[in-house]
Structure 1
Amino acid sequence: MIRASRVLRRDAVTGGEIVDRIVLDHGDRHRRRMTMRGVGGLSFLLDLAEPAVLDDGDALVLDDGRLVWVEAAPERLLEIRAASPLALKRLIWHIGNRHIPAEIGDEAVYIGFDHVLADMVRGLGGTAEPVERPFRPEGGAYASTHAHGEHGHGAHAHDGHPHHHGHSHGHD
């Protein structure tokens, strides 16, 4: 099976033969090694030296030099808005306390769809409307990332392992 062992970031994709594309949601764009099948049917092994977050517009470089285009799939999200910039900042603080991936824009914040968080946002005076679009969350202070849109999991996992950022959390 042909391998893809290198990621070409979207700002560096200037040419090359694009032979297929893969459409992945946010969770599936954070990978190191897995078998993939492109939309056009090309099967290949993603085999990176380290885990990487694949971003919309990146390309995977196959062993023979051909490229597979990476496309961010639309996902069900909540678009969160507030009446003022200060009110939005407060909502971002509350969302941040939940330790969930969030994409922060100028006038809105996007998170994965969650009816409990939607109710929380509405209870705090914001709006939380379901939308479908690609999700590009922030990398966070503990992510070793190349750019906006990545979410590191190693230093801040909530699976029973200790936190590595100097304070503890109560989770329900």
Structure 2
Amino acid sequence: MIIEEIVANIDDLDATELEKRHKEKVYLESAHLMKRIQRVKTDHNRELGIRLKNPKDLEAGDVLFMDDENMIIIDVLSDDLLVIRPRNMNEMGTIAHELGNRHLPAQFDEDAMLVQYDYLVEELLLEMNIPFAREERKVEKPFRHIGHSHD
């Protein structure tokens, strides 16, 4: 089966629509959410080809296939993350500047900044005495590098 477009996201579906269907999942690493063309396997060992027509990243909960009885859903594997919780605006600005200079992609979750684990960043956070924790977490969207040069 070749998937060329996303049917929906489970967050947009009615609960009764979800309950009445058997669910298969495709588990992806967060970095693979950006890939428009890939071969994947469901948790029921069914092979699928994904070749998206539109340039849109996959997200956790995206429905790749749905009929009256079944649906195939994207789920994301946990990432090794540094969860940074600055105590004030000065710490937030300082660490954001440092990470930006390293061109590290970040995501934000309520009061925390999330970056993929890097031992150099961990050392920097310890040196700067900025609160953080190393956690395994699922992210719904990929960490995206922004193209930039210092011309």
Task: Please state which band the TM-score falls in when normalised by the shorter chain.
Answer: 0.7 to 0.9
- The corresponding residue for 1:140 is none
- The corresponding residue for 1:47 is 51
Three-state SS of the structure 2 residue aligned to 1:91 is helix
Contact 2:31 2:142 in 1 (8 A): no
- The corresponding residue for 1:82 is 86
RMSD: 2.5
Matched, 1:13 2:13: yes
Per-residue CA deviation, residues 1-57 of structure 1 (Å, 9 max, x unaligned), is x11111123433343745410111211111111111011111111111134322111
- The corresponding residue for 2:104 is 100
Give the 3 Å change call, closer, same or farther, for CA 53–168 of structure 1 in structure 2: same
Per-residue CA deviation, residues 80-133 of structure 1 (Å, 9 max, x unaligned), is 122224312321222122222211123211111100011112222213321001
Gaps of 5+ in 1: 137-148, 157-162
Matched, 1:168 2:145: no
Gaps of 5+ in 2: none
Give the 3 Å change call, closer, same or farther, for CA 88–152 of structure 1 in structure 2: closer
Greater RCO (Cα-Cα under 8 Å, separation 6 or more): 2
Aligned length: 145
- The corresponding residue for 2:38 is 34
CA distance in structure 2 between the aligned counterparts of 1:96 and 1:18, rounded to whole angstroms: 43
Contact 2:35 2:57 in 1 (8 A): yes
TM-score (norm 1): 0.71
More helix by share: 2
TM-score (norm 2): 0.80
Letter in 1 for 2:4: S
Three-state SS of the structure 2 residue aligned to 1:168 is coil
Letter in 2 for 1:118: E
Matched, 1:135 2:139: yes
Give the 3 Å change call, closer, same or farther, for CA 50–151 of structure 1 in structure 2: farther
Contact 1:5 1:47 in 2 (8 A): yes
Contact 1:13 1:58 in 2 (8 A): no
